[in-house]
Structure 1
């Protein structure tokens, strides 16, 4: 049995946190994993904190990532990093908006997909499943710009979190 992978995606309302978690869950499902997902909307309509937990593996019993057990923490808004850092396990991977060159992103609304691209290199899900999930979850008119954003993210360097807790 494979270990369950725990991912937390966090940001502010309107940044695409929930769409990013939908794409991740879909990609993991396409790769043959059991997937569970939960969402905390908070004040999402007013730009407040939003987070989503995605867990996948051979058998997943709960959708919630226990505190301090996220293998990956993906944060779309820099102000949300420290708020959500306690969810990350020691040695886990923290991916924030600072992994990208802000000028390289052609459409700022594609930040969530670009950061998924960065995260995709840290998870055992083939790229074709990521792309299929992206196509299934986004309008066709958005495919080209999001393909570019995803590729930009995949080229970003990500590192394990070494911050003290």
Structure 2
């Protein structure tokens, strides 16, 4: 059976869930994997639930992560943890928003990229692929801020031993 990694990113409309999944998918592509991605927006424009599935590996046939098969559930809003927990595999890793200390970010809008930094600590994708994906998906004026946010999230995950 071919290697496939299943990640679900969840949160609320306006938190950059889709942008975060774009960056993750781009980083996986840059690392040489086959990638499929899907989003569920719901009432996202009004702050409703948003999820995005990203699957990457040797060969990926479907963009949807089946319930109970997410290797990683990355949640940007605490209220979305319980709602999305059934997507997580029994041995899966939950990365919640509490990994980023309140006030740690220079700009709260970069929470999604900080959470990707935390995610990067448990995925075997090269850091260069992540940085290139951030640059490709965000405006140049935001690169430095988001590189700092990514590093902050990665450091927080490593210190917190996420996925260990």
Q: TM-score, normalised by structure 1?
A: 0.95
Unaligned runs of 5+ in 1: none
* Superposed displacement of residue 159, structure 1: 3.0
* In structure 1, C-alpha distance between the alignment counterparts of 2:18 and 2:161, rounded to whole Å: 22
Q: TM-score, normalised by structure 2?
A: 0.95
2:70 corresponding residue in structure 1 = 70
Please identify, of 17-26 and 91-100, the stretch whose mean Cα deviation from structure 2 is larger. 91-100
* In structure 2, C-alpha distance between the alignment counterparts of 1:149 and 1:79, rounded to whole Å: 22
2:125 corresponding residue in structure 1 = 125
User: Are 2:48 and 1:45 equivalent residues in the alignment?
Assistant: no
Unaligned runs of 5+ in 2: none
* Superposed displacement of residue 104, structure 1: 1.2
* In structure 1, C-alpha distance between the alignment counterparts of 2:94 and 2:51, rounded to whole Å: 14
C-alpha distance after superposition, 1:34-88 (max 9, x if no partner)? 0000000110110000000000000000000000000000001000000000000
Judged with a 3 Å threshold, the aligned counterparts in structure 2 of structure 1 residues 108 and 158 are, in CA distance, closer, same or farther, namely: farther
**Aligned ranges for residues 145-164 of structure 1 at < 5 Å?**
145-156=145-156, 157-160=160-163
* In structure 2, C-alpha distance between the alignment counterparts of 1:98 and 1:16, rounded to whole Å: 17
* In structure 2, C-alpha distance between the alignment counterparts of 1:104 and 1:14, rounded to whole Å: 20
8 Å CA contact retained: 2:121, 2:162: no
* In structure 2, C-alpha distance between the alignment counterparts of 1:153 and 1:159, rounded to whole Å: 11
1:34 corresponding residue in structure 2 = 34
* In structure 2, C-alpha distance between the alignment counterparts of 1:136 and 1:39, rounded to whole Å: 20
2:7 corresponding residue in structure 1 = 7
* In structure 2, C-alpha distance between the alignment counterparts of 1:63 and 1:15, rounded to whole Å: 21
8 Å CA contact retained: 1:44, 1:50: yes
The DSSP-based 3-state class of the residue aligned with 2:38 is: strand
Please identify, of 49-58 and 151-160, the stretch whose mean Cα deviation from structure 2 is larger. 151-160
* Superposed displacement of residue 160, structure 1: 4.2
